[in-house]
Amino acid sequence: MIQHIESFVQQKLSHDTTGHDWYHIDRVRKMSIHIAKNENVNIEIVEIAALLHDILDEKLVKNKENAKREIIDLLESLQYQDEYIQQIIYIIENVGFKGGNGMQMDLVEGKIIQDADRLDAIGAIGIARTFMYSGAKGQAMYDPNIPVRDEMSYEQYRNEKSTAINHFYEKLVKLIHTLHTDTARNIAKERHDFLKLFLSEFHREWEVKL
């Protein structure tokens, strides 16, 4: 069953260059399973929902309802229980860490995937993904004339300019405070410090301070 779901996801995300490629999915899956070992949860739901977690992202799919139907059809064709299918759909519809009006996730399996997804947005990989995303969206690397916003909704991101570096302040350095599990918080510490170090080096070089 897992192999069928893997191929489905690989085929959907194979052309992605915005930081949501298959290897992101695979890391989130591995990290989710690692976190899940310390929690009292259904690991199979965690793994399947982790594999599918970006498939309904409005940034990636054109028609969300079609994509949702495809997922339900796939899981039904694999004889997966209805109750679990519903939980998986609920998780992947609410997993995103969108600014502002993000709904509270109330399934522990979903919280674990949120933690794993957020961990992949910080540290060295998080830095790399942010510049991939910004490049793909045509944002500047940095522009001191573009102000840092407190919290940006996707609407704002569509209408207002931001930069890769601004995104660190608008979102990435705040992620450590949004984690649900101790396992994730422990892993986040080093990655968070690495972001801060990267930012201070970036600004030092930007100012040509020798």
Q: Which of 16, 47, 54, 109 binds ligand ADP (CB under 6 A)?
A: 54
* 63-92 footprint of Ni ion as x/- string (CB under 5 A): ------------------------------
The footprint of ligand ADP on residues 163-202 (CB under 6 A) is: 164, 167, 172
> What is the DSSP secondary-structure string of 73-110?
HHHHHTT--HHHHHHHHHHHHH----SSSPPPP--HHH
Distance from chain centroid for Cα 101: 16
Is 54 a residue that touches Ni ion (CB under 5 A)?
yes
Helix (H, G, I), strand (E, B) or coil at 42: coil
Helix (H, G, I), strand (E, B) or coil at 116: helix
Min dist. Cβ of residue 117 to ligand ADP (A): 5
Q: Cα(first)–Cα(last) distance of the chain, in Å?
A: 56
Q: Which of 130, 165, 179, 187 binds ligand ADP (CB under 6 A)?
A: 130
Is 117 a residue that touches Ni ion (CB under 5 A)?
yes
The footprint of ligand ADP on residues 61-100 (CB under 6 A) is: 96-97
The footprint of Ni ion on residues 142-201 (CB under 5 A) is: none
The owner of tokens 């793909």 is: 136
57 binds, among Ni ion, ligand ADP, none (CB under 5 to 8 A by kind): ligand ADP
The enclosing H or E element of 176 equals: none
At 8, phi and psi to the nearest 5?
A: -60, -45
Question: For residue 114, which of 12, 23, 35, 189 has the smallest C-alpha distance?
Answer: 35
Is 121 a residue that touches ligand ADP (CB under 6 A)?
yes
Is 115 a residue that touches Ni ion (CB under 5 A)?
no
Non-local (6+) Cβ contacts of 133 within 8 A are 18, 19, 164, 167
Is 26 a residue that touches ligand ADP (CB under 6 A)?
no
Min dist. Cβ of residue 122 to Ni ion (A): 13
Span near ligand ADP by CB under 6 A; candidates 38-46, 82-90, 126-134, 180-188: 126-134
Q: What tokens were used for 18?
A: 């915005």
Interface positions with ligand ADP (CB under 6 A): 19-20, 54, 57, 59, 96-97, 117, 121, 126, 129-130, 133-134, 139, 157, 162, 164, 167, 172
